[in-house]
Chains A and B, each alone.
Chain A
Amino acid sequence: MSEAKPQVILRMGSHSEKEYIQKTLKFFDGVMVGANLLQISPGATASLLFKLHGETRRPYYIDPMTYAFGSYFDPEVSQVRDDLDWIKSLQKVPGRKGVREKRFKGSYRKLADEFGPPFSTCLDRGVAINQRDFSDDLIYSACESVLSFQAERLREVFREDPQTESFADALPRPAALFAPYFYIEPNRSQEWITLNNRLARAAMKQARFETPIHVVVCAHLEVLTNRKLASPVIENLQACKPDGVWLWFSRLDERFQEPDELLALRWWVEQLASSTRVFNMHGGFYSLALSKYGMVGTAHGVGYGEQKDVIPVIGQSTPTVQYYVRALHAKYSVAQIQRSFSRLGIKTASDFYGKICDCPICKGVIGNDLDQFSQFGEIHYSTPKSKRAAQTPAAAKRCRYHFLLKRIEERDYVGASTLDTILNDLKSSAATWAPTAMLGTSIEHLLVWANALS
């Protein structure tokens, strides 16, 4: 068992999250942005990464997002979809007033044009990439352009603007370059496993990049648990020898996953950790604890984002940012937590600080009045026409900052604790919170994690 010092990489989903990154990155281990974000706002993204590096010296990563050009299995219609609908949006048609058409989002169109064939050609034909699109010649050039984008794009952006041109060479390169990758969907697992392996090998052969090459395993949950599918992927990776492997099992939610799935994640880490650096692309506390089995780090967003579906759900209302309970390593609604106060013996603000959290955000919000805890869940009608009350931006902000502070604490705690201590603490938290009528049944993950880790 090769233990690792756990790292947390913050993923920036949009520029609206910039403030969180700027204020907290120095306490984390790196930042990741999607290539689509870089393409839609090149100047702002490049300037931000330059500034962040100057202020914090933290590394950055660019996720090439190539999976977005592949097909996926839609559980709602139980079939493989290759219409690329998930990277389209309704857009105004120039010259035709009031007419809107579903077209490719500008960020992905620009990204495909930058990557070249087969990414650009798949958008031209309107059908997702498949394995046959990568001939042996094309696979090499496609890898080169995807890697080159990550290595050079920031400098190019700076060179395009006379005001930033002179700083271009001062821009750091990413900490690692990701080989192009596609989602291993359950219907054509073998084909996607083969293609991803070819892409990883082609990327590793690119000699001109001095930056470490990492590989992403982006897969359906079946690949996580089914050894017949998992073993060839692991063998391919062991033979390919990338400098790092990022695991991303779509919809893998540590808190709600079955024990065998969590055990399977540990098995993946154990298989790979001796030959490469293993990360979780979207993970939480369980992934941090897997550092005891060799997982180097995990990435997630500023408002949690500890799990991600390959295909984002479109058209949902903005989710409430819930309050993160450090002892339970999970988020709950403000009302759920308040309803648990009596069983936990929390009657005053100082009880709260002693038993739940005494971070500066909580102290600033609650002060001496425990009722002020409700500010973390404050709701309002955002417009006079709103039918449903939603969390205020200020409340969401409080929850996010509190979560980020707790995550730093958790990372340091895992790094400084033995596995036995972590297991005992998980069990002890479960015992403390079990008598609360409100959360007693929502803390089962603690014991599931403890079993999976022991």
Chain B
Amino acid sequence: MPFYEYRIDLYGFCDNRDSTVAIELKLKNWRRAFVQALLYQLCADLVYIAMPKRAALKVDQSLLACEGIGLLSISDSGVCSCVLSARVHGQVRQPYKLSQINYLKGTTCE
């Protein structure tokens, strides 16, 4: 899903809770993922970084926790576990969130 010049790897919306989630997938460079995750907080209530288990071990979790960004670890067999839960933060700008939800609804309805 496009967000300015970036592309959000996964973006989800829960109608009941009026809540959105963005997930940045990265194989190695967690610092780059962190910077992108910070940006995605502008349009998503919860933001996660998802990485292979081995790469996820190297992530500075305190830095992520400080910004409310969550971490998902994916094992070789494909099992996904939540290492750090994302928390609701104060960065969301409603026009962006609404625009992303509308984009999502538009594309899924097609």
- Whether A208 sits at the interface, judged by CB under 8 Å, is no
In angstroms, Cα B3 to Cα A320, docked, is 13
Docked-complex contact B38 and A379, CB < 8 angstroms: no
Docked-complex contact A339 and B42, CB < 8 angstroms: yes
Q: Which A residues are CB-close (under 8 A) to B95?
A: 371, 374
In angstroms, Cα B66 to Cα A407, docked, is 36
Instruction: Please report which residues of chain B, range 53-96, place their CB below 8 angstroms from some CB of chain A when the two chains form the complex.
Output: 66-67, 90-91, 93-96
- Whether A334 sits at the interface, judged by CB under 8 Å, is yes
Instruction: Please name the residue on chain A nearest to B93 by beta carbon.
Output: A371
Given A335-B39, A371-B93, A374-B95, A379:B67 Cβ within 8 A = no
Docked-complex contact B2 and A438, CB < 8 angstroms: no
- Whether B41 sits at the interface, judged by CB under 8 Å, is yes
Q: Which B residues are CB-close (under 8 A) to A335?
A: 3-4, 6, 39, 42
In angstroms, Cα B39 to Cα A320, docked, is 17
In angstroms, Cα B41 to Cα A320, docked, is 21
In angstroms, Cα B2 to Cα A389, docked, is 7
Docked-complex contact B38 and A339, CB < 8 angstroms: yes
Instruction: Please report which residues of chain B, range 4-32, place their CB below 8 angstroms from some CB of chain A when the two chains form the complex.
Output: 4-6
Q: Which B residues are CB-close (under 8 A) to A334?
A: 4
Count A-B contacts at CB 8 Å: 41
Say how far A402's CB is from chain B's closest CB, in angstroms: 17
Say how far A86's CB is from chain B's closest CB, in angstroms: 27
Docked-complex contact B91 and A339, CB < 8 angstroms: yes
Say how far A286's CB is from chain B's closest CB, in angstroms: 24
Instruction: Please report which residues of chain A, range 412-440, place their CB below 8 angstroms from some CB of chain B when the two chains form the complex.
Output: 437-438
Number of interface residues of A (CB under 8 A): 17
In angstroms, Cα B95 to Cα A437, docked, is 22
Docked-complex contact B38 and A438, CB < 8 angstroms: yes
In angstroms, Cα B4 to Cα A338, docked, is 12
Interchain residue pairs with CB less than 8 A apart (15)? A320-B4, A320-B5, A333-B4, A333-B5, A338-B93, A339-B38, A339-B41, A342-B90, A374-B93, A374-B95, A377-B5, A379-B2, A379-B5, A388-B2, A437-B67
In angstroms, Cα B39 to Cα A389, docked, is 17
In angstroms, Cα B92 to Cα A338, docked, is 10
Contact bitstring A338-355, B, C-beta under 8 A = 1, else 0: 110010000000000000
User: What's the dominant secondary structure at chain B's contact region?
Assistant: mixed
In angstroms, Cα B4 to Cα A377, docked, is 7
Q: Which A residues are CB-close (under 8 A) to B94?
A: 371
Number of interface residues of B (CB under 8 A): 18
Instruction: Please name the residue on chain B nearest to A369 by beta carbon.
Output: B95
In angstroms, Cα B66 to Cα A438, docked, is 13
Q: Which B residues are CB-close (under 8 A) to A333?
A: 4-5, 39
- Whether A336 sits at the interface, judged by CB under 8 Å, is yes
- Whether B109 sits at the interface, judged by CB under 8 Å, is no
Instruction: Please name the residue on chain A nearest to B95 by beta carbon.
Output: A371
In angstroms, Cα B66 to Cα A338, docked, is 18
Q: Which of A339, A379, A389 has the most CB of B within 10 A?
A: A339
In angstroms, Cα B42 to Cα A349, docked, is 17
Instruction: Please name the residue on chain A nearest to B34 by beta carbon.
Output: A437
Instruction: Please name the residue on chain A nearest to B69 by beta carbon.
Output: A437
Q: Which B residues are CB-close (under 8 A) to A388?
A: 2
The answer, among B39, B66, B91, B93, for a CB contact under 8 Å with A336, is B39
Docked-complex contact B96 and A339, CB < 8 angstroms: no
Q: Which A residues are CB-close (under 8 A) to B90?
A: 342
Say how far A343's CB is from chain B's closest CB, in angstroms: 10
Q: Which B residues are CB-close (under 8 A) to A371?
A: 93-95
In angstroms, Cα B66 to Cα A437, docked, is 10
Instruction: Please name the residue on chain B nearest to A320 by beta carbon.
Output: B5
Docked-complex contact A338 and B42, CB < 8 angstroms: yes
Docked-complex contact A438 and B96, CB < 8 angstroms: no
In angstroms, Cα B3 to Cα A338, docked, is 13
In angstroms, Cα B6 to Cα A379, docked, is 11
Instruction: Please name the residue on chain B nearest to A373 by beta carbon.
Output: B93
Say how far A369's CB is from chain B's closest CB, in angstroms: 9
The answer, among A377, A389, A391, A437, for a CB contact under 8 Å with B38, is A437
Known: A334-B4, A339-B91, A437-B38. 10 other contacts (CB 8 A): A320-B4, A335-B39, A338-B42, A371-B94, A371-B95, A374-B95, A377-B4, A388-B2, A391-B5, A437-B67
